[in-house]
A and B are shown apart, each in its own frame.
Chain A
Protein backbone atom coordinates (compact mmCIF):
# COMPACT_ATOMS: atom_id res chain seq x y z
CA UNK A 1 0.00 0.00 0.00
CA UNK A 2 1.77 3.15 -1.23
CA UNK A 3 0.02 5.22 1.45
CA UNK A 4 2.15 3.52 4.09
CA UNK A 5 5.84 4.00 3.38
CA UNK A 6 8.63 2.18 5.14
CA UNK A 7 12.31 3.09 4.97
CA UNK A 8 14.71 1.51 4.37
CA UNK A 9 13.36 -1.43 2.36
CA UNK A 10 16.46 -3.49 3.05
CA UNK A 11 19.16 -3.21 5.68
CA UNK A 12 22.15 -5.32 6.59
CA UNK A 13 23.97 -4.48 9.79
CA UNK A 14 26.16 -5.96 12.49
CA UNK A 15 25.41 -7.24 15.95
CA UNK A 16 25.38 -4.47 18.55
CA UNK A 17 24.49 -1.65 16.18
CA UNK A 18 21.57 0.68 16.79
CA UNK A 19 19.02 0.64 14.00
CA UNK A 20 15.97 2.74 13.27
CA UNK A 21 13.19 1.72 10.91
CA UNK A 22 10.83 4.45 9.85
CA UNK A 23 7.21 4.45 8.83
CA UNK A 24 5.11 7.28 7.49
CA UNK A 25 1.53 7.32 6.30
CA UNK A 26 -0.65 9.63 4.27
CA UNK A 27 -3.92 7.87 5.09
CA UNK A 28 -4.72 10.10 8.05
CA UNK A 29 -5.18 7.07 10.28
CA UNK A 30 -4.88 7.45 14.04
CA UNK A 31 -3.55 3.97 14.84
CA UNK A 32 -0.16 2.57 13.89
CA UNK A 33 1.50 -0.79 14.48
CA UNK A 34 4.85 -2.54 14.10
CA UNK A 35 5.02 -6.28 13.35
CA UNK A 36 7.75 -8.72 12.53
CA UNK A 37 7.27 -11.63 10.18
CA UNK A 38 9.22 -14.86 10.49
CA UNK A 39 8.71 -17.92 8.28
CA UNK A 40 6.15 -20.29 9.78
CA UNK A 41 5.22 -17.87 12.55
CA UNK A 42 3.02 -15.38 10.79
CA UNK A 43 3.09 -11.79 12.02
CA UNK A 44 3.74 -10.89 15.64
CA UNK A 45 2.95 -7.53 17.14
CA UNK A 46 5.90 -5.57 18.56
CA UNK A 47 4.35 -2.22 19.52
CA UNK A 48 1.24 -0.25 18.71
CA UNK A 49 0.07 3.33 19.13
CA UNK A 50 -3.47 4.66 19.13
CA UNK A 51 -2.43 8.31 18.97
CA UNK A 52 0.64 10.50 19.38
CA UNK A 53 0.65 10.24 23.17
CA UNK A 54 -0.19 6.58 23.35
CA UNK A 55 2.39 3.75 23.10
CA UNK A 56 1.68 0.12 23.97
CA UNK A 57 3.77 -3.02 24.06
CA UNK A 58 2.80 -5.94 21.89
CA UNK A 59 3.61 -9.59 22.40
CA UNK A 60 7.32 -9.35 21.55
CA UNK A 61 8.52 -5.89 22.59
CA UNK A 62 11.76 -6.90 24.34
CA UNK A 63 14.78 -5.46 22.55
CA UNK A 64 12.71 -2.88 20.68
CA UNK A 65 11.50 0.66 21.29
CA UNK A 66 9.26 3.00 19.33
CA UNK A 67 8.54 6.67 18.89
CA UNK A 68 5.36 8.26 17.55
CA UNK A 69 6.76 11.58 16.37
CA UNK A 70 3.53 12.73 14.77
CA UNK A 71 0.24 11.18 13.78
CA UNK A 72 1.78 10.23 10.45
CA UNK A 73 5.12 8.89 11.71
CA UNK A 74 5.96 5.87 13.80
CA UNK A 75 9.55 4.62 14.08
CA UNK A 76 10.93 1.38 15.46
CA UNK A 77 14.38 1.17 17.04
CA UNK A 78 16.62 -1.73 17.88
CA UNK A 79 18.97 -0.35 20.51
CA UNK A 80 21.56 -3.11 20.20
CA UNK A 81 20.75 -5.46 17.36
CA UNK A 82 21.20 -9.21 17.71
CA UNK A 83 21.04 -11.90 15.00
CA UNK A 84 17.68 -13.33 16.11
CA UNK A 85 16.13 -9.97 15.25
CA UNK A 86 16.75 -10.78 11.60
CA UNK A 87 13.27 -10.69 10.09
CA UNK A 88 10.85 -8.87 7.83
CA UNK A 89 9.33 -5.87 9.61
CA UNK A 90 5.98 -4.34 8.74
CA UNK A 91 4.32 -1.12 9.71
CA UNK A 92 0.52 -0.95 9.55
CA UNK A 93 -2.16 1.65 10.14
CA UNK A 94 -5.87 1.61 10.87
CA UNK A 95 -8.64 4.12 11.34
CA UNK A 96 -10.75 4.03 14.49
CA UNK A 97 -12.69 7.20 13.69
CA UNK A 98 -15.82 7.60 11.65
CA UNK A 99 -19.07 5.70 11.56
CA UNK A 100 -17.50 2.27 11.12
CA UNK A 101 -15.37 2.73 14.18
CA UNK A 102 -12.82 0.15 15.16
CA UNK A 103 -13.85 -2.57 12.69
CA UNK A 104 -11.64 -1.27 9.94
CA UNK A 105 -8.84 -3.42 8.53
CA UNK A 106 -5.19 -2.59 8.93
CA UNK A 107 -3.21 -1.28 5.97
CA UNK A 108 0.38 -2.43 5.58
CA UNK A 109 3.56 -0.99 4.16
CA UNK A 110 5.78 -3.09 1.91
CA UNK A 111 8.14 -4.05 4.70
CA UNK A 112 11.77 -3.70 5.71
CA UNK A 113 13.98 -6.74 5.33
CA UNK A 114 16.52 -6.57 8.15
CA UNK A 115 19.55 -8.83 8.37
CA UNK A 116 21.81 -8.75 11.43
CA UNK A 117 25.17 -10.43 11.05
Chain B
Protein backbone atom coordinates (compact mmCIF):
# COMPACT_ATOMS: atom_id res chain seq x y z
CA UNK B 1 0.00 0.00 0.00
CA UNK B 2 1.17 3.50 -0.75
CA UNK B 3 1.70 6.21 1.85
CA UNK B 4 2.80 9.80 2.02
CA UNK B 5 4.48 11.60 4.90
CA UNK B 6 4.74 15.32 5.43
CA UNK B 7 7.03 15.48 8.46
CA UNK B 8 6.31 19.11 9.34
CA UNK B 9 2.88 20.22 10.51
CA UNK B 10 3.90 23.86 10.16
CA UNK B 11 6.53 25.85 8.29
CA UNK B 12 7.17 29.50 9.10
CA UNK B 13 9.32 31.73 6.92
CA UNK B 14 9.88 35.41 6.37
CA UNK B 15 8.77 36.99 3.13
CA UNK B 16 11.54 36.91 0.56
CA UNK B 17 13.22 33.87 2.08
CA UNK B 18 13.29 30.43 0.47
CA UNK B 19 10.40 28.12 1.26
CA UNK B 20 10.64 24.32 1.42
CA UNK B 21 7.81 21.93 2.25
CA UNK B 22 8.93 18.34 2.70
CA UNK B 23 7.29 15.17 1.40
CA UNK B 24 8.42 11.56 1.44
CA UNK B 25 6.53 8.62 0.00
CA UNK B 26 6.37 4.87 0.08
CA UNK B 27 5.07 3.08 -2.99
CA UNK B 28 6.00 0.15 -5.19
CA UNK B 29 7.27 1.03 -8.62
CA UNK B 30 7.61 4.49 -10.09
CA UNK B 31 5.06 6.80 -8.53
CA UNK B 32 3.09 9.73 -9.84
CA UNK B 33 3.52 12.62 -7.38
CA UNK B 34 1.45 15.75 -6.94
CA UNK B 35 1.38 18.92 -4.87
CA UNK B 36 -1.81 20.79 -4.05
CA UNK B 37 -2.47 24.01 -2.13
CA UNK B 38 -5.57 24.86 -0.10
CA UNK B 39 -6.54 28.40 0.81
CA UNK B 40 -9.10 29.08 3.57
CA UNK B 41 -12.66 28.07 2.65
CA UNK B 42 -11.53 26.76 -0.72
CA UNK B 43 -10.88 23.40 -2.30
CA UNK B 44 -7.49 22.06 -3.22
CA UNK B 45 -5.74 23.63 -6.18
CA UNK B 46 -3.25 21.72 -8.28
CA UNK B 47 0.31 23.12 -8.20
CA UNK B 48 2.49 20.60 -10.04
CA UNK B 49 3.09 16.95 -10.76
CA UNK B 50 5.91 14.53 -11.46
CA UNK B 51 5.19 11.68 -13.85
CA UNK B 52 8.51 10.91 -15.50
CA UNK B 53 11.52 12.68 -16.96
CA UNK B 54 13.35 15.64 -15.46
CA UNK B 55 13.57 15.40 -11.69
CA UNK B 56 12.95 19.14 -11.27
CA UNK B 57 9.35 20.03 -11.97
CA UNK B 58 8.08 23.58 -12.30
CA UNK B 59 4.53 24.52 -11.46
CA UNK B 60 2.15 27.35 -10.74
CA UNK B 61 2.88 30.54 -8.74
CA UNK B 62 6.68 30.09 -8.96
CA UNK B 63 6.73 26.75 -7.14
CA UNK B 64 8.93 23.85 -8.12
CA UNK B 65 9.57 20.39 -6.72
CA UNK B 66 12.45 17.99 -6.91
CA UNK B 67 11.90 14.27 -7.26
CA UNK B 68 14.60 12.20 -5.55
CA UNK B 69 14.14 8.50 -6.13
CA UNK B 70 16.93 7.33 -3.82
CA UNK B 71 15.51 9.34 -0.93
CA UNK B 72 11.88 8.73 -1.97
CA UNK B 73 11.22 12.43 -1.58
CA UNK B 74 9.35 15.11 -3.49
CA UNK B 75 9.99 18.40 -1.70
CA UNK B 76 8.18 21.55 -2.74
CA UNK B 77 10.26 24.70 -3.05
CA UNK B 78 9.94 28.37 -3.79
CA UNK B 79 13.03 30.59 -3.98
CA UNK B 80 11.36 33.70 -2.55
CA UNK B 81 8.18 33.29 -0.48
CA UNK B 82 5.30 35.76 -0.50
CA UNK B 83 2.80 36.49 2.26
CA UNK B 84 0.13 35.27 -0.17
CA UNK B 85 1.77 31.81 -0.18
CA UNK B 86 0.43 31.27 3.34
CA UNK B 87 -1.85 28.24 3.00
CA UNK B 88 -2.16 24.51 3.62
CA UNK B 89 -0.08 22.33 1.30
CA UNK B 90 -0.71 18.69 0.48
CA UNK B 91 1.55 16.14 -1.15
CA UNK B 92 -0.14 13.19 -2.88
CA UNK B 93 1.04 9.97 -4.50
CA UNK B 94 -0.53 7.60 -7.00
CA UNK B 95 1.10 4.27 -7.81
CA UNK B 96 1.45 3.31 -11.48
CA UNK B 97 -1.57 1.38 -12.69
CA UNK B 98 -3.75 2.74 -9.87
CA UNK B 99 -6.12 5.67 -10.07
CA UNK B 100 -6.47 6.63 -6.44
CA UNK B 101 -4.51 9.39 -4.76
CA UNK B 102 -3.12 9.05 -1.25
CA UNK B 103 -2.64 12.38 0.49
CA UNK B 104 -0.26 13.45 3.21
CA UNK B 105 -1.63 15.08 6.35
CA UNK B 106 -0.77 18.55 5.09
CA UNK B 107 1.68 21.29 6.06
CA UNK B 108 0.53 24.75 7.09
CA UNK B 109 2.80 27.42 5.66
CA UNK B 110 2.89 30.86 7.23
CA UNK B 111 4.88 33.60 5.53
CA UNK B 112 5.36 36.67 7.72
CA UNK B 113 5.83 40.12 6.29
* Contact surface of A with B, Cβ cutoff 8 Å: 1, 4, 31, 40-45, 48, 50, 58, 90, 92, 96, 102-103, 105-111
* Further contacts, 18 of them, CB under 8 A, given A41-B105, A42-B4, A108-B44: A1-B43, A4-B43, A40-B106, A42-B103, A42-B104, A45-B101, A48-B99, A50-B99, A58-B100, A90-B44, A92-B44, A102-B99, A103-B32, A105-B46, A106-B101, A108-B43, A111-B41, A111-B43
Determine which residue in B36, B41, B44, B45 has the highest number of CB atoms from chain A within 10 A of its CB, and name it: B44
Minimum CB–CB distance for B67 against chain A, Å: 14
Minimum CB–CB distance for A116 against chain B, Å: 20
Minimum CB–CB distance for A112 against chain B, Å: 10
Which B-chain residue is minimally distant from A103 (CB atoms)?
Answer: B51
Question: B49 contacts which chain A residues (CB < 8 A)?
Answer: 103, 105
User: How many angstroms between the C-alpha atoms of A102 and B49 in the bound complex?
Assistant: 13
Which B-chain residue is minimally distant from A108 (CB atoms)?
Answer: B43
User: How many angstroms between the C-alpha atoms of A103 and B34 in the bound complex?
Assistant: 10
Selected from A31, A40, A41, A109, the residue in CB contact (under 8 A) with B43 is: A109
- Whether the Cβ atoms of A48 and B100 lie closer than 8 Å is yes
Closest 4 CB pairs of A and B: A108-B43, A42-B103, A105-B46, A43-B103
* Contact surface of B with A, Cβ cutoff 8 Å: 4, 9, 32, 34, 36, 41-46, 49, 51, 90, 99-101, 103-106
Minimum CB–CB distance for B37 against chain A, Å: 11
Minimum CB–CB distance for A56 against chain B, Å: 9
- Whether the Cβ atoms of B42 and A110 lie closer than 8 Å is yes
User: How many angstroms between the C-alpha atoms of A106 and B49 in the bound complex?
Assistant: 11
User: How many angstroms between the C-alpha atoms of A42 and B108 in the bound complex?
Assistant: 12
Question: B51 contacts which chain A residues (CB < 8 A)?
Answer: 103
Minimum CB–CB distance for B107 against chain A, Å: 10
Minimum CB–CB distance for A59 against chain B, Å: 8
CB pairs A–B below 8 angstroms (27 shown): A1-B43, A1-B45, A40-B9, A42-B4, A42-B105, A43-B90, A44-B103, A45-B100, A48-B100, A58-B100, A90-B43, A92-B43, A92-B44, A102-B99, A103-B32, A103-B49, A103-B51, A105-B34, A105-B36, A105-B49, A106-B44, A106-B101, A107-B46, A108-B36, A109-B43, A110-B42, A111-B41
